[in-house]
């Protein structure tokens, strides 16, 4: 099907979607969950075709692992939809109400965004998840997943659409672009007439390509060059525990720590404790002179190291003389994602919290908590690293917009 | 100065701006207002150069009128800045607070967006206004005004920057791009490394060009193909009053009514009353068959008429048989700006309010009220017609973002 036709359908269906009640939307989500769980075999057969092609093309093991489905993973998809169904409904919420001197009453009401496009890589679990979050918030969705997961995605979308239609919900609330030509993806990014918001999920390269090509408003997600700053007034044990957690608890994620900034006066006490902990995870350290004075085995850090999101067992280290210098270093190299200070000094901490420019700034807490679930949102479509619309973890509310409803009795404007 | 250098300066200065207190920001705004009022002559001399060139190039009278400054207009600019200074400060506001089961406390705090770029046409009053709104909300601003107003803009910016520096505020919080090469404007739209948000203010063509070229997040403003739907249950006198106000009270604005949708059953009573009123304003009517049966002199409307934002004394008219048909017509042709239903039937009204997709939907109120001042925001940078970040009138709050501050005592993530 051509893209314009898909856009037109999504646009039509978004207006019908508004009329579904909360309970109708939740029932459809639960039905989709049940059908995914029941039709695992069909999905696994399709996934096997993708896996075969992946093996033929010598896809990297890590990527193959993301592409692979199993009974458990499909069960987890279904469970994800059930959890989304159980979350509160925000659509229709009156966010503000005011009455003007001329007697007109203005209500600011939460509404769906409309049509959301999601562009992602070969992770078939995103298919069900993105659908669930968008549908829960009354949005129609058009998905463009990685070509390597096409068969898996087609199977998942087929099962969900059929489940929706069982509930008398138009299947076109969920559409999948099956043309794998890159030109089609770029054309999708320009489908402004029909698509209200585009969210890329995936590598820095994918996100950059969307930002550069899209004429649709984009929310940038996910790149995280996150720092922990260990202040002179830090508790060294707490600092080591936080850095070790933020660096090693899960390395391939955007909220992992990539760089340590350390105050000169605490180096001697702190760095050996840290090294002990990190050695057990085989973390490679790349530091400046100030660090290498204490840890002579440490690899010298280059300028590039400070700008790197390693997503690996590597940590860059930088020495500073003051908290100002720490803040300046972080504001220069960070991706505005998540930053942390470890200190017992409240004044220093508040300064850091206020002056570091990032979606999430932590005091004595691991950066790994930047996550919609950990924040209690119950869901997450991504972590926004831009400043408009949404910043940080994006849950259901961040997939909504608002409109003003103005009720009166014949008011006209005089000047 | 080259653009990157300007971006770098704005980026540096945005971090310093955060440290200014509310009172420091307001004092600087008041000082800028005073200096604008005192240095009128200098600004008028510069404006005269622009006006001379405009006359030489036979600029249209309407555009010349927008370009022209006078003592009163400069006084109004100064007064605008004083009004902005008197508005509440939203920066630092704690929007939400929550504590998680692990004891970490999350605060969602309102912060400036950072660096805002404004691209506009030859209206020098926008220069002071855009600066005032952005500075009040703690943002650095880079302006690119229309080339025809360059001398006026340079003079205004010079006066404001000098006033800021008298208050020990870095002048670079306000920068003006003086290179009039179109290539530079396009380069500005891609200055993503430094600029957090771009707001175009002006014609549909200008806005389209920004949307197509920008890699910076854009807020689209201003195009308004606004409708009034007169339902069969309308009070014909009220309907005529509202349509006439929305059409004629000011014709060149985005919240003016461009199209009337009328229920078949009320045509006979309503259209003659409306025609009487509109005739006194010499409004040309372009209607379909249903309208022409009642008003035989009415020009036949074409398909294009329904998509037109006339910004002129012209009104298109469309007959419908039901409110559903009215809603479908409006959702097809509107620009998602402002729409109105006139009816005494509450059920019909609520349906219209819910199902019409627009920033502002009115029941028995003129569309002309879509305005930051009329909504009580005390200021306005534009009317957003997109769905993300801000929708409808954008006041000070819409020029802010937020960040999460997370305070704890050593929390690390286990899974």
Which residues from B are below 8 Å from A375, CB to CB?
100, 106, 404
**Global pTM?**
0.94
Check: complex ipTM more than 0.90: yes
Backbone angles phi, psi at A390, to 5 degrees: -145, 145
Which residues from B are below 8 Å from A18, CB to CB?
354-355
Residue A391 has its nearest CB partner, among B401, B406, B412, at: B401
Query: Residue A401 in 3-state DSSP?
Result: strand
* pLDDT reported for residue A220: 92
* pLDDT reported for residue B265: 98
To probe the interface with A, which of B339, B342, B403 has the most A CB atoms within 10 Å?
Answer: B403
To probe the interface with A, which of B395, B400, B404 has the most A CB atoms within 10 Å?
Answer: B404
- Which candidate, A214, A58, A356, A393, places its Cα nearest to that of B19? A356
Query: Residue B388 in 3-state DSSP?
Result: coil
Is residue A91 left, alpha or beta, with left meaning phi > 0 and alpha meaning psi from -120 to 50?
Answer: beta
* pLDDT reported for residue A120: 94
Residue B366 has its nearest CB partner, among A249, A331, A412, at: A412
CB contact under 8 A, B245 and A413: yes
Give A355→chain B minimum CA distance, Å. 7
Structural tokens at position B216:
């910076």
Which residues from B are below 8 Å from A369, CB to CB?
104, 406, 411, 413
CB contact under 8 A, B364 and A403: no
B402 touches chain A (CB under 8 A): yes
B412 touches chain A (CB under 8 A): yes
- The HSE-up count of residue B415 (CA atoms within 13 Å, CB side) is 1
Q: Could you list the pLDDT tens digit for every one of the 415 residues in chain A?
A: 699 999 999 999 998 898 899 999 999 999 999 999 999 999 999 999 999 999 999 999 888 999 999 999 999 999 999 999 999 999 999 999 999 999 999 999 999 999 999 999 989 999 999 999 999 999 999 999 999 999 999 999 999 999 999 999 999 999 999 999 999 999 999 999 999 999 999 888 899 999 999 999 999 987 899 999 999 999 999 999 999 999 999 998 899 999 999 999 999 999 999 999 999 999 999 999 999 999 999 999 999 999 999 999 999 999 999 999 999 999 999 999 999 999 999 999 999 999 999 999 999 999 999 999 999 998 899 999 999 999 999 999 999 999 999 999 999 999 8
Q: Give the residue from chain A lying closest to B356, CA to CA.
A: A15
* In chain A, residues 231-270 whose CB comes closer than 8 Å to chain B: 235, 238, 241-242, 245-246, 249
CB contact under 8 A, B403 and A358: yes
To probe the interface with B, which of A210, A228, A388 has the most B CB atoms within 10 Å?
Answer: A388
Residue B355 has its nearest CB partner, among A15, A98, A211, at: A15
Which residues from A are below 8 Å from B357, CB to CB?
15, 114, 403
Is residue A121 left, alpha or beta, with left meaning phi > 0 and alpha meaning psi from -120 to 50?
Answer: beta
Q: Give the residue from chain A lying closest to B342, CA to CA.
A: A410
The span from the CA of B134 to the CA of B317, in Å, is: 40
A329 touches chain B (CB under 8 A): no
Strands B94-99, B105-112: pairing is antiparallel
CB contact under 8 A, B402 and A391: yes
Give B391→chain A minimum CA distance, Å. 7
Cα distances (Å, whole numbers) of residue A326 to A226, A322, B47, B215, B411: 13, 6, 47, 30, 22
Regions of chain B short of the pLDDT cut 70: 1
């Amino acid at each position: 099907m051509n893209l314009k036709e898909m856009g037109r359908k999504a646009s039509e269906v978004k207006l019908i979607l508004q009329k579904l009640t909360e309970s109708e939307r939740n029932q459809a989500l639960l039905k989709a969950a049940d059908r995914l769980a029941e039709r695992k075999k069909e999905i696994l057969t399709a996934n096997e075709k993708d896996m075969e092609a992946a093996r033929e093309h010598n896809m990297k093991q890590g990527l193959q692992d993301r592409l692979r489905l199993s009974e458990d993973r499909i069960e987890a998809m279904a469970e994800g939809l059930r959890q989304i169904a159980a979350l509160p409904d925000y659509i229709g919420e009156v966010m503000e109400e005011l009455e003007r001197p001329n007697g007109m009453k203005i209500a600011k009401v939460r509404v769906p965004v409309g049509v959301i496009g999601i562009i992602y890589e070969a992770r078939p679990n995103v298919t069900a998840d993105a659908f669930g979050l968008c549908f829960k918030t009354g949005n129609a969705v058009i998905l463009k997943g990685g070509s390597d997961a096409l068969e898996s995605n087609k199977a998942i979308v087929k099962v969900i659409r059929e489940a929706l239609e069982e509930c008398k919900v138009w299947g076109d609330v969920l559409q999948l672009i099956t043309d794998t030509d890159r030109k089609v993806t770029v054309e999708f990014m320009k489908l402004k007439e029909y698509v209200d918001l585009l969210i890329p999920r995936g590598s820095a390269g994918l996100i950059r390509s969307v930002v550069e090509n899209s004429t649709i408003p984009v929310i940038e997600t996910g790149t995280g060059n996150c720092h922990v700053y260990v202040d002179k007034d830090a508790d060294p044990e707490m600092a080591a525990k936080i850095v070790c957690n933020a660096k090693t608890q899960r390395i391939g994620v955007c909220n992992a720590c990539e760089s340590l900034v350390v105050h000169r006066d605490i180096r001697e006490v702190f760095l050996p404790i840290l090294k002990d902990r990190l050695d057990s995870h085989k973390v490679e350290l790349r530091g400046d002179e100030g660090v290498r004075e204490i840890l002579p085995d440490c690899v010298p850090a280059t300028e590039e190291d400070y700008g790197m999101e390693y997503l690996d067992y590597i940590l860059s280290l930088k020495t500073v003389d003051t908290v100002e210098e720490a803040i300046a270093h972080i504001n220069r190299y960070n991706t505005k994602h998540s930053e942390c200070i470890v200190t017992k000094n409240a004044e220093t901490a508040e300064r850091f919290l206020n002056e570091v420019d990032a979606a999430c700034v932590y005091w004595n807490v691991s950066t790994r908590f930047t996550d919609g679930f950990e924040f209690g949102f119950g869901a997450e479509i991504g972590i926004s690293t831009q400043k408009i619309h949404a910043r940080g973890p994006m849950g259901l509310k961040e997939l909504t917009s608002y409109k003003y409803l103005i009720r009166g009795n014949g008011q006209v404007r005089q000047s």
